[in-house]
Amino acid sequence: MGLLLYLILIYGVYRVASKAFKFEKVSRFEQITLPGYSLIMFLITMSWKTSEIGLLVPIVVLSALIGWYQASGVTIQRTAEHDKFKRPIVLVKQNWPYIVGWVAVFVLGIACEIWHVGRISNAHILRELGEVVREELFTFMKFGNAYSWYIWAISAVSGFTYTWVLHRKESAIAAAIQRPDRH
Q: What residues contact residue 44 under an 8 Å CB cut-off, 6+ apart?
A: none
Is 0.75 topped by the overall pTM? Answer: yes
Residue 137 has a pLDDT of 54
- How many whole angstroms separate alpha carbon 121 and alpha carbon 92? 37
Backbone φ and ψ of 171, nearest 5°: -65, -25
Residue 146 has a pLDDT of 59
- How many whole angstroms separate alpha carbon 97 and alpha carbon 117? 30
Residue 183 has a pLDDT of 54
Residue 110 has a pLDDT of 84
Tens of pLDDT along the chain (183 residues)?
Answer: 566 666 777 777 787 788 899 999 999 988 999 899 999 989 998 988 888 899 999 999 999 999 999 999 999 999 999 999 999 999 999 999 999 998 899 889 888 888 877 777 777 677 777 676 666 655 545 555 556 888 889 999 999 999 999 999 998 999 999 888 765
